[in-house]
């Protein structure tokens, strides 16, 4: 995670940014701190990246790499405004000894477009990451990579449209069908016949930009339509307000890089 002391919306590279609504930096930091403290209260270990004033989107730490089975595939960002983040993440992983690190040859934005189940890597493309990055990830991690085509620009990363609820299982996900192409919807329906299907209002609240440890699901508080369904499925939804970070295009998952 990266605290947003220097978080400023200084450029617009996604449809969530509205430059007429400036970010309250103090409130953004307080909301980020609430998320960090919540993870620790749930028993998770949280490491922090040092903020860089020239890299305002570094707060969205999920985009910097994919870590799986002790191996790290670095990001290769789509927009030049974020290029510098890749090196920050690389330096951090190398300094902390997180196994073999590989620089990406093809555009991928880390856990923005990669997510993991027990057997597969699900990989989004259409707006940021390249389909060629899917093959690169499959070769590096030795796991089947399933490509999913995003077609709605409001859901420009996979982690805005789909959440894995338990990465020890292959059947525990929630997603918003309309974010995907017809073929990808068919793939998702076949792979996850019992998935939780989000409504548009909850998806637009970035309710699928959530983080689950297999029981607790930290989810944006505005996505209230998901809470009852999650409880019915045996999960404990924990709502949190990250409304200031939403102005920059991210929420719970965007701020969270998972070390597997």
Catalytic amino acids? 157, 254
Mapping DSSP to helix (H, G, I), strand (E, B) and coil, where does residue 216 land?
strand
In the numeric block, the tokens 């595939």 are attached to 73
Q: Are 237 and 219 in contact (CB under 8 A)?
A: yes
Q: Are 33 and 224 in contact (CB under 8 A)?
A: no
C-beta neighbour count of 135 within 10 angstroms: 14
Determine phi and psi for 232, rounding to 5 degrees. -60, -35
DSSP, residue by residue, 100-159: EEE--SS-B-GGGTEEE-SS-EEEEESSSS-THHHHHHHHHH-S-EEEEEB--TTS-SGG
Contacts of 95 (CB under 8 A, 6+ apart): none
């Amino acid at each position: 995670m990266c605290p947003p002391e220097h978080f400023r919306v200084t450029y617009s590279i996604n449809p969530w940014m509205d430059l007429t609504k400036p970010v309250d930096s103090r409130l953004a930091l307080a909301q980020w701190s609430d998320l960090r403290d919540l993870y620790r209260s749930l028993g998770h270990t949280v490491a922090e990246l040092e903020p860089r004033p020239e890299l305002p989107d570094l707060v969205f730490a999920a985009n910097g790499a994919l870590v799986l089975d002790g191996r790290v595939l670095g990001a290769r960002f789509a927009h030049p405004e974020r290029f510098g983040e890749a090196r920050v993440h690389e330096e951090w992983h190398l300094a902390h000894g997180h196994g073999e690190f590989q620089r990406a040859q093809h555009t991928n934005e880390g856990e923005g477009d990669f997510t993991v189940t027990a057997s597969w890597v699900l990989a989004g493309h259409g707006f940021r990451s390249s389909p060629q990055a899917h093959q690169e990830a499959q070769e590096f991690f030795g796991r089947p990579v399933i490509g999913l085509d995003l077609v709605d620009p409001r859901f420009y990363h996979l982690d805005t449209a789909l959440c894995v609820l338990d990465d020890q299982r292959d059947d525990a996900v929630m997603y918003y069908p309309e974010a995907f192409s017809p073929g990808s919807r068919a793939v998702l329906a076949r792979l996850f016949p019992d998935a939780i299907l989000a409504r548009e209002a909850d998806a637009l609240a970035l309710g699928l930009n959530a983080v689950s440890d297999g029981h607790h699901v930290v989810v944006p508080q505005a996505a209230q339509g998901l809470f009852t369904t999650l409880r019915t499925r045996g999960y404990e939804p924990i709502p949190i307000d990250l409304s200031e970070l939403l102005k920059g295009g991210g929420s719970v998952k965007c701020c969270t890089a998972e070390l597997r």
